[in-house]
Amino acid sequence: MASPVTTTHLATLKSQGNPIVMVTAYDATMARLADRAGVDVLLVGDSLGMVVQGHPTTLPVTLDQMVYHTAMVRRGAERPFIVADLPFGTFQVSVEAGVEAALRLVKEGGAHGVKLEGATGQVLEIVRMLTSHGTPVTGHVGLIPQSVHGLGGFRMQGRDEANARRILDDARALQDAGAHMIVLESIPSDLAATITGALAIPTIGIGAGPRCDGQVLVVNDLLGMDDEFCPSFVRQYASLAGTITDALSRYAGEVRAGAFPPSTQP
């Protein structure tokens, strides 16, 4: 088995100019396939609230559900570094609640590190506490989906100068607090390049252009699992919605026609 990915390895990838490959995973099967494909980081994202649970936002996802999915991903993957999202309603309550939630994702879920959105004073304090005890933390700035209602929808951030400056300051503050990596979501490509150049830690973009240290996509999006939803920044590397529907239709047809199972089967 190749050696497991560590925070040191991720930092080295940045310093050597080698892109970091991150993708979301929510269960052991996908984790195993992503591991086999050579993905560096698996993100057990709270996007599972939308792509697995069918909610319109990530807000309903609970900590118990995140622990459950993280444990599945951990069982499926050997090499990738596994990051689990702190869901809405955990770290927003208090520093203690945020730290306790993060420790559950590590202790019960088996995550190697956690991710939390934003850079409020409370978030920075949680990052400081976790990293001082050796728990790696990934930051997340730009479009932070848990604030979707406050942001007025899933829309690009950092378009005007003041907002761009705030996102850069937030990224710096997260690095200073001890974060080892930062997700930049839905911000202009130039801003992502500026942040990537300004930080010593790796940046991982989603809808943030090519000049980040790595990229992340929601696995269901890149596999084309939903043929009615494809954000403009996504590239679909497969069209599984059609492939799966076709396979299931053929199965249904053969069961109804009496062609499966075959009469020769004992």
Residue 43 sits in the site that holds ligand KIV (CB under 6 A): yes
Minimum distance from residue 219 beta carbon to ligand KIV (Å): 9
Residue 187 sits in the site that holds ligand KIV (CB under 6 A): no
Contact with ligand KIV (CB under 6 A) among 183, 199, 208, 222? 183
Bridge partners of residue 84, in order along the sequence: 44, 114
As a whole number of angstroms, the distance between CA 125 and CA 2 comes to 35
Closer residue to ligand KIV in complex, CB, 144/168 = 144
Contact with ligand KIV (CB under 6 A) among 34, 40, 47, 184? 47
Name the one range near ligand KIV by CB under 6 A: 3-11, 41-49, 68-76, 238-246: 41-49
Name the one range near ligand KIV by CB under 6 A: 26-34, 40-48, 74-82, 88-96: 40-48
As a whole number of angstroms, the distance between CA 66 and CA 108 comes to 10
Interface with ligand KIV in residues 83-102 (CB under 6 A): 85
Positions marked active-site? 185
As a whole number of angstroms, the distance between CA 149 and CA 147 comes to 6
Kindly report the backbone phi and psi dihedral angles of residue 118, in degrees, each rounded to the nearest multiple of 5, phi listed first. Answer: 90, -175
> Looking up tokens 């130039």, which residue turns up?
190
Neighbouring C-beta atoms of residue 138, cutoff 10 Å: 28
Residues touching ligand KIV: how many (CB under 6 A)?
A: 11
Residue 219 sits in the site that holds ligand KIV (CB under 6 A): no
Residue 113 sits in the site that holds ligand KIV (CB under 6 A): no
Contact with ligand KIV (CB under 6 A) among 24, 90, 146, 220? 24
Q: By 3-state DSSP, what share of the chain in percent is helix, strand and coil, each rounded to 5?
A: 45, 15, 40
Sign of CA dihedral 189, 194, 197, 199: negative
Does residue 178 contact residue 128 with C-beta atoms inside 8 Å? yes
What residues line the site for ligand KIV (CB under 6 A)?
A: 24, 43, 45-47, 85, 183, 185, 206, 216, 218
